Amino acid sequence: MDNLTMDNMTVENGTSVQDNQTLGIWTDYTVEYKVVSVFLVSLICGVGIVGNVMVILVVLTTKHMRTPTNCYLVSLAAADLMVLTAAGLPNITDALYGQWVYGYAGCLGITYFQYLGINASSCSITAFTVERYIAICHPIKAQFLCTLSRAKKIIMLVWALTSVYCVMWLFLSDTKKLTYDNAVRLSCAYKVSRSYYLPIYFSDFAVFYVLPLMLATVLYGLIARILFLNPLPSDPKDSSKKWKKETSLGGRMISTSSSCSTTAASRKQVTKMLAVVVILFALLWMPYRTLVVVNSFLNKAYLDTWFLLFCRLCIYLNSAINPVIYNAMSQKFRAAFKKLCHCGPRSMEKPASYSVALSYSVIKDMSNGESPDHFTTEMDGLNTPTDQYLLTRNLPTAKKMLYEDPPLSGSEIKNLTKNVDI
C-alpha cells in the first residue's frame, strides 16, 4: 500500500529523488484542481468522521448493541477514522500548499497511522467475515466461539499485531527536499530504493488485500448456500405442516412458520449488510491498488493528477460509506442513530428496551440454540414496535404456560422465543 499523502513523483513511481538534483520547472496545481480536491476531500472525510464516531458511540452506549459482530464494526470504524484523518485531511494541505507541511515527525507519524488504519480495517473485515461464517454454518460452535468476550480479545490481538507490523514504516519514511529550477519543495517520501520498496509493497498488497478478499469470497459463498438455498422456508410440505401448528400467546395467534421465516430473514439481512461492506472494500480500493501495481512494471509511471485524485477519493469514500450502509440496511443501527441524535420517537424507547430485557431472560431459560451474546445480531427489528410491546407484556404468562404444559416441541419453543427478540 502506498502512502496516500506523499508527493506523486516519489510515491506512485516507487522511486526516490536524490537531494540537490534539479527536477525542472515546478508548477502548482490548477485552481480547478484545488477547488475540487479540497471540496470533495473535505466533504467525504467530514461525513465519514461524523458517521464513524456515531457508530462507535451507539455501540458503546447502547447495551443491546454490544454484540460480537458490532464489536468488529467498532474496530472497523476506528480504523476508518484513522484513515480519514491520517490520509484524507493531509491531502487538503497538499492541494493548497503543494508540498509537505508537517515536518519530519509528521511524516513518520502520519505514514504509520495510514498503514495502521488500512491494515486494521482489512483485518476487522476478515474477522467479522469469519464470525458470520461460524454463526451461520456452525451455529452450535458459535455458542462458544462467537461470544462478546472472545470478539474483544480478537480485536485487541488484531490491533496489537498490526501496530507492531506497521512499525517498519517508521524506518522506511523520511522527508526529502526536491530542488526545482524555480522552487524547493519538501516531500514525505521513502528512504529505500524502488528495488527494495516493491517487494515490501507486494507483500502488504497480498496479505491485506488479496488474501482477505479470497477468504471472504469463499466464506460468503458457503454462507449463501446455507441462507439462500435452505429448503426449509421454501418447502411447501414443511410450510403447510408448520402453518397448521399454532399456539395462542395472550390472545394473539403466533405461527411457528412465521417465527422461523422472521429469523431467517433477519439473518439474511445482517449477512447482506456485511457482504456489501466487503464488496465496497474490494471495489473502492481496486483503482489505487491497480495503479500502483501497473506503475511498478512501467519505466515511466502514469501520474495523471486527476486520476490520482479519483483513486484517493475512492479510498476515502470506502472509509466514509460504512455508517451509511448500516443506517440503510439495519433497523437497529438506524434507530440507535436517531436516538443518538435525539430525533427518534421517545415514546417507543421504553417498550423496546423492555422487550430486549425480557426476551433475554426467556432465551437463557428455555433456548439451547444460539448464545445470547451472538443472537442479538441476527434479529434486526423486523417486527413493529407495537407487536413487540404486546408480545412482551405476555411473556411471563407464556413462560409459565411453556413450563407447566408445553403445547409445542422443543424446536418449536425455540422458534417461538426467537420471534420476540428485536
The answer to whether 62 touches 44, Cβ cutoff 8 Å, is no
DSSP letters for 254-265? EEHHHHHHHHHH
- Which three cell numbers, joined as nine digits, stand for 41? 476531500
Q: How many helices (H) and strands (E) are present in the chain, helices listed first?
A: 20, 4
In angstroms, rounded to a whole number, what is the distance separating the alpha carbons of residues 67 and 84? 25
Handedness of CA 64, 67, 72, 75 (dihedral sign): positive
| 199-205 own/partner pairs: CB under 8 Å, 24+ apart | 200/168, 200/172, 201/1, 201/2, 201/14, 201/292, 201/296, 202/296, 204/1, 204/115, 204/119, 205/1, 205/289, 205/292, 205/293
For the chain, give percent helix, strand, coil, nearest 5.
75, 5, 20
pLDDT value at residue 381: 41
Cα–Cα distance list, 320 to 46, 81, 104, 343 (Å): 8, 8, 28, 22
35-67 residue pLDDT tens: 999 999 999 999 999 999 999 999 999 888 999
Compare 96 and 354 and report the one with higher pLDDT.
Answer: 96
Q: Which residues make beta-bridge pairs with 208?
A: none
376-406 residue pLDDT tens: 444 344 344 444 444 444 444 444 444 444 4
Compare 302 and 81 and report the one with higher pLDDT.
Answer: 81
Residue 331 pLDDT more than 60? yes
DSSP letters for 72-130? HHHHHHHHHHHHIIIIIHHHHHHHHHSS--SHHHHHHHHHHHHHHHHHHHHHHHHHHHH
Helix (H, G, I), strand (E, B) or coil at 375: helix
Helix (H, G, I), strand (E, B) or coil at 189: strand
Query: Average pLDDT of 168-176?
Result: 91
pLDDT value at residue 5: 54
Query: Average pLDDT of 314-343?
Result: 91
Strand runs (DSSP E) across 250-324, as ranges?
252-255
Q: Which residues make beta-bridge pairs with 255?
A: 246
Cα–Cα distance list, 272 to 93, 266, 267, 276, 329 (Å): 38, 10, 8, 6, 8
DSSP letters for 387-420? HHHHHHHTHHHHHHHHHHS--S-HHHHHHHHHTT
Helix ranges (H only) for 138-255 are 139-145, 148-165, 168-172, 194-205, 211-227, 231-234, 236-244
104-136 residue pLDDT tens: 999 999 999 999 999 999 999 999 999 999 989
